[in-house]
C-alpha cells in the first residue's frame, strides 16, 4: 500500500487503527479501506456510535470556542486523535491565530498523522504519551516551549478518560492534572455513561465495551468528581448535545441516546 506523504515507513497499513476508524466516523480523509471496513462493522453493532463521536467533536468545538473567547490561549489536548475535521487548533486559531495547542495521544498512528498534518503550524506540537503518565505529559508539554503552566491553560480530555479503567486510578490522574494548573485554568471533559440509557442501548454499550472499544462507562457523579474543586460552569455535567448548543434545534428530544456527558470546569482562586 502507498504511504501518504510524511508518514513514517514503519506504520502498519495492513491493520486497522482506532484513530483512523474514528477519523472515518468524523468524515475525515485520514483513513484506509481496512479502517472503513472495521468502522462499518462497529456501526452495525452500535448504531448511535458515529453520531456520538460527531456529537463529541461538536461539544469539543463549542467548548474550545467558549474557552478562547474567555481568554484562554494555550491548550493541552490529551487523547487528541487525528486533528482533522474542525479540531482544536482550527477552532482556537480562527479566533486567536497565536493560540498554542499541544496534542497528546497514545496511538502512534494518530501521532504520525498529526505531525504530518501540523508540520506547518508553528503554534502546535504533538507528543506521543499515555494519559496514565500525567507527570511526563506535563513535563514534556512545558519542555516543548509552547505551553507555560505558570499561566492559565485549558486541559482537554475529550472522549479519553473512559479508556482508563478504575484499576489505573483515573481520579489520581485527574488530580495531578488539576494540581498542575493555575487559577483561571479550565478542564474540559467528555465521557461515556450508562446513566439515562434505555435497557437495549445499555446492552449494546456493554457489548461494545467488551469487544471493540473496551471502555469504562461511568455515572454522572463519577464524572462530576473528576473536576474535584473546580467550578463546573453552566449548564453543568449534561448529555453532550445539551452543552451550550449553538441553536436549541441542534438536538432532538432524546440527547441521552448518545450515552455521553460533557462538562467544563474552572480553576478558581484558592482551590486545587
Ligand atoms: C474517541 S478518540 C477522541 C478524539 C478527540 N479527543 C475528540 O474528542 O474528537 C480517543 C483518543 O484517545 C486516545 N487514547 C486512548 N487511551 C489513551 C491514553 N491512555 N493516553 C492517551 N491517549 C489515549 C486514542 O488513541 C484516541 O485517539
pLDDT tens readout for residues 53-86? 889 999 999 999 999 999 999 999 999 988 777 7
C-alpha cell at 157: 480530555
Nearest C-alpha neighbor of 63 from the set 200, 268, 242, 192 = 242
The pLDDT, as a whole number, for residue 237 is 98
Any atom of ligand 1 within 6 Å of the Cβ of 62: no
Q: % helix / strand / coil in the chain, to the nearest 5?
A: 40, 15, 45
Mean of the pLDDT values across residues 96-115?
93
Any atom of ligand 1 within 6 Å of the Cβ of 106: yes
Whether the Cβ atoms of residue 94 and residue 123 lie closer than 8 Å to each other: no
CA of 77 to the centre of ligand 1 (A): 9
Nearest C-alpha neighbor of 99 from the set 124, 77, 119 = 124
Domain 49-266 part of CATH 1.10.3720.10: no
Mean of the pLDDT values across residues 23-34?
85
For the ranges 19-28, 114-123, 126-135, 252-261, the maximum mean pLDDT occurs at 126-135
Average pLDDT along the chain: 87
Any atom of ligand 1 within 6 Å of the Cβ of 126: no
Tell me the C-alpha distance between 86 and 30, whole Å: 14
CA of 270 to the centre of ligand 1 (A): 31
The pLDDT, as a whole number, for residue 8 is 59
Domain ranges of the chain: 49-266
Model confidence at 200, pLDDT cuts 50, 70, 90, reads: low
CA of 170 to the centre of ligand 1 (A): 14
| Residue in 160, 258, 263, 264 to alter for ligand 1 test, most ligand atoms within 8 A of Cβ | 160
Q: Is the pLDDT of residue 212 over 50?
A: no
Nearest C-alpha neighbor of 152 from the set 243, 68, 262 = 68
Atom of ligand 1 nearest to the CA of 19: 27
Q: Whose CA is nearest to atom 9 of ligand 1?
A: 57
Q: Is the pLDDT of residue 243 over 90?
A: yes
Q: Whose CA is nearest to atom 1 of ligand 1?
A: 159
Model confidence at 7, pLDDT cuts 50, 70, 90, reads: low
Phi then psi dihedrals of residue 107, to 5 deg:
-90, 115
The pLDDT, as a whole number, for residue 247 is 80
Whether the Cβ atoms of residue 217 and residue 192 lie closer than 8 Å to each other: yes
In the block, cell 490561549 appears at: 73
| Residue in 16, 81, 86, 111 to alter for ligand 1 test, most ligand atoms within 8 A of Cβ | 81
Torsion of CA 7, 11, 16, 20, to 10 degrees: -30
Length of the chain counted residue by residue:
272
Atom of ligand 1 nearest to the CA of 131: 20
Nearest C-alpha neighbor of 19 from the set 190, 189, 160, 132 = 160
Nearest C-alpha neighbor of 238 from the set 217, 215, 256 = 256
E strand segments, 13-89: 74-78
The pLDDT, as a whole number, for residue 203 is 63
Any atom of ligand 1 within 6 Å of the Cβ of 88: no
The pLDDT, as a whole number, for residue 131 is 97
Amino acid at each position: 500500500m502507498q504511504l501518504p506523504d510524511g508518514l513514517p515507513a514503519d506504520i502498519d497499513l495492513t491493520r486497522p487503527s482506532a484513530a483512523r476508524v474514528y477519523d472515518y466516523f468524523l468524515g475525515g480523509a485520514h483513513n484506509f479501506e481496512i479502517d472503513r471496513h472495521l468502522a462499518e462493522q462497529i456501526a452495525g453493532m452500535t448504531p448511535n456510535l458515529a453520531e456520538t463521536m460527531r456529537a463529541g467533536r461538536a461539544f469539543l468545538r463549542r467548548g474550545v470556542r467558549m474557552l478562547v473567547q474567555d481568554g484562554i490561549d494555550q491548550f493541552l489536548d490529551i487523547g487528541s486523535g487525528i486533528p482533522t475535521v474542525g479540531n482544536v487548533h482550527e477552532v482556537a486559531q480562527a479566533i486567536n491565530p497565536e493560540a498554542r495547542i499541544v496534542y497528546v495521544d497514545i496511538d502512534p498512528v494518530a501521532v504520525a498523522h498529526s505531525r504530518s498534518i501540523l508540520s506547518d503550524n508553528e503554534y502546535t506540537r504533538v507528543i506521543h504519551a499515555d494519559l496514565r503518565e500525567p507527570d511526563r505529559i506535563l513535563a514534556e508539554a512545558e519542555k516543548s516551549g509552547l505551553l507555560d503552566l505558570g499561566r492559565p491553560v485549558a486541559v482537554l480530555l475529550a472522549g479519553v478518560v473512559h479508556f482508563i479503567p478504575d484499576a489505573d486510578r483515573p481520579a489520581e490522574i485527574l488530580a495531578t492534572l488539576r494540581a498542575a494548573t493555575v487559577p483561571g485554568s479550565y478542564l474540559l471533559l467528555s465521557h461515556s455513561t450508562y446513566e439515562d440509557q434505555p435497557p437495549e442501548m445499555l446492552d449494546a454499550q456493554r457489548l461494545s465495551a467488551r469487544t471493540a472499544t473496551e471502555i469504562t462507562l461511568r455515572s454522572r457523579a463519577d464524572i462530576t468528581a473528576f473536576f474535584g474543586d473546580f467550578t463546573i460552569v453552566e449548564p453543568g455535567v449534561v448529555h453532550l448535545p445539551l452543552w451550550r448548543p449553538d441553536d436549541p434545534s441542534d438536538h432532538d428530544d432524546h440527547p441521552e441516546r448518545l450515552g455521553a456527558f460533557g462538562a467544563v470546569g474552572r480553576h478558581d482562586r484558592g482551590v486545587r
